[in-house]
Amino acid sequence: LVNLELARIAAQKGQIENAVRYYHDAVYAVWPSQEEIQRREARLELIDLLLRSSAKAQAQAELIALAENVTGDPSNGQLLGDLFVRAGDYEHALTEYGLSLKADPHNVKALAGEGYAAYELGQYRAAQHYLHEAVKRDPGDTQSAERLKVTEMVLRMDPFRRNLSVEERNRLVAEAFAAAGHRLEKCAVPDGDGDNMAGV
């Protein structure tokens, strides 16, 4: 308890290294009661501090340790998934959202989270499925609706998807090539020898 309070005080003062040290002392200390719950809460506070301090790599390491300690409890899946997303670790986010959805397939936030993580990983088929389900259950979720639109556009433009005729595939490839050329033309060329192109 003393270490936890010292961690909070250090965090308030912006003494991040000291706060992290005290949080670690609290996490690995012997607690008088409800040891696992207290450790979990202390680690969650530490993770939040690290994320707010843009220490994403450290936050990811703490999240992986936390996820291993709460294995088998799907109620934590959505929370951990959200935290992994904040840390930019979309692979682990997918795993945690998946555990949450196994326990409750209709969890709208977990569906949206799973869709977003898949979207960020370029897994557009999976993203389409989960984002569609999230929007269907919560039409007010404008972020998921926007991601769904982009995902469907990407899938429509994919020249390598199944059941495309040769003509359609060739058309899509030509369109993608033309779009890339158009974007390249818009790149600014700096003054001088022109060896490097800015903005590409």
pLDDT tens string, the chain, 200 residues long: the values are: 888 899 899 889 989 999 999 999 998 888 777 778 888 899 999 999 999 999 999 999 999 999 887 766 667 888 999 999 999 999 999 999 999 999 899 999 999 999 999 999 999 999 999 999 999 999 999 999 999 999 988 887 765 556 656 666 556 556 655 655 666 677 655 555 545 544 44
Question: Cβ atoms within 10 A of the Cβ of 124, count?
Answer: 19
Tokens 């993608």 locate to 176
Q: What is the pLDDT of residue 50?
A: 94
14-43: string of b/e by CB count within 10 Å (b at 16+)?
eebeebbebbbebbebeeeeeeeebbbebb
Supply the pLDDT for residue 124.
Answer: 92
With contact defined as beta carbons under 8 Å apart, do 94 and 63 qualify? no
What pLDDT is attached to residue 30? 81
Cα gap 163→184, rounded to integer Å? 31
Identify the pLDDT of residue 198.
47
How much is the pLDDT for 149?
92
Cα-only R_g, the chain: 23
C-alpha span between 117 and 94 (Å, rounded): 6
C-alpha to C-alpha distances, 96 to 49, 122, 123, nearest whole angstrom: 21, 18, 16
Q: What is the pLDDT of residue 77?
A: 87
What is the Cα–Cα distance from 179 to 176, expressed in whole angstroms?
5
Residue type, 114: E
